[in-house]
Amino acid sequence: MEIKKLESEDLPAIATLLRNYWKERGMDYSQEWTLNYLTNGHKTEIKKDQSFVLKEQDKIVGIIAVVIYEGDVAEIRDLVVKKEYRRKGYGKKLLEYIMDFAKRNQVRKIYALIFQPYRFFLEKVGFELEGYLKDHFKEGEHLLLMSQFFREKEEKQVDLKQKLEDVKKVQEIEEETSGRLQKLRLR
């Protein structure tokens, strides 16, 4: 067994492996895109990366950024408002702006890594807690992962639920049939 750095002669085989795995998950990327992903790194997954500033009378009051990834998922980054302008609605304006921007860019889910004191701020605009990251950027600094879905879950997910129900029905029929066959054999 050997683990080594990816080399150029490995690219076609690895690209095929990745594409097949992604297809299993319902994602269809071209060979060209996959090779670009393998040679240029994860930055290939970033569809858009944009920062916005909020100004009040030509003074910069705050900043917010968004990164939109493949899969139509967006991450809110760097939501910061100057101390003297906090608790005056500027953070909410920035957040509403970025959420609207994400919706216009067909984002289906948006998330943010935040500090505990900001949890209720995001919950007020529809975000839900998804998880915790302990000691994330530095020891003792824990983050919450909060997100919001903009679109209903795709029909593919509904189809998977239906398939699961169909499998359960088939299993019930098989169990019932097996039971009947056993009773016939015992007679």
Measured distance CA(11)–CA(28) in Å, rounded: 18
Measured distance CA(7)–CA(165) in Å, rounded: 44
Tell me the pLDDT band of 40, cut-offs 50, 70 and 90.
Answer: confident
CATH code, domain with 114: 3.40.630.30
State residue 22's pLDDT score.
84
- Whether 22 maps to a domain, the answer reads no
Mean confidence (pLDDT) of the chain: 86
- Whether 173 maps to a domain, the answer reads no
State the residue range of the domain holding 149: 41-155
- Locate tokens 């302990």: which residue? 134
Q: E strands within 57-104?
A: 59-69, 73-81
Phi, psi of 158 (to 5 degrees): -65, -40
- Whether 16 maps to a domain, the answer reads no
How far is C-alpha 131 from the geometric centre of its chain's CA atoms? Answer: 13
- Whether 54 maps to a domain, the answer reads yes
Q: What is the mean pLDDT of residues 30-45?
A: 86
Share of the chain above pLDDT 70, in %: 89
pLDDT tens-digit map of 81-114:
999 998 999 999 999 999 999 999 999 999 999 9
Instruction: Judge contact between 96 and 125, C-beta under 8 A.
Output: yes
State residue 152's pLDDT score.
63
Measured distance CA(98)–CA(69) in Å, rounded: 15
Q: Which two tokens stand for residue 186?
A: 């015992």
Instruction: Judge contact between 148 and 109, C-beta under 8 A.
Output: yes
- Whether 145 maps to a domain, the answer reads yes
State residue 29's pLDDT score.
86
Share of the chain above pLDDT 90, in %: 45
State residue 92's pLDDT score.
93
| pTM given for the model | 0.71
pLDDT tens-digit map of 42-74:
888 899 999 999 999 999 999 999 999 998 999
- Whether 60 maps to a domain, the answer reads yes
State residue 112's pLDDT score.
96
- Whether 10 maps to a domain, the answer reads no
State residue 35's pLDDT score.
87
pLDDT tens-digit map of 155-175:
555 566 677 777 777 677 777
| Number of domains into which the chain is organized | 1
For residue 98, give the nearest of 120, 68, 60 by alpha carbon.
68
- Whether 19 maps to a domain, the answer reads no
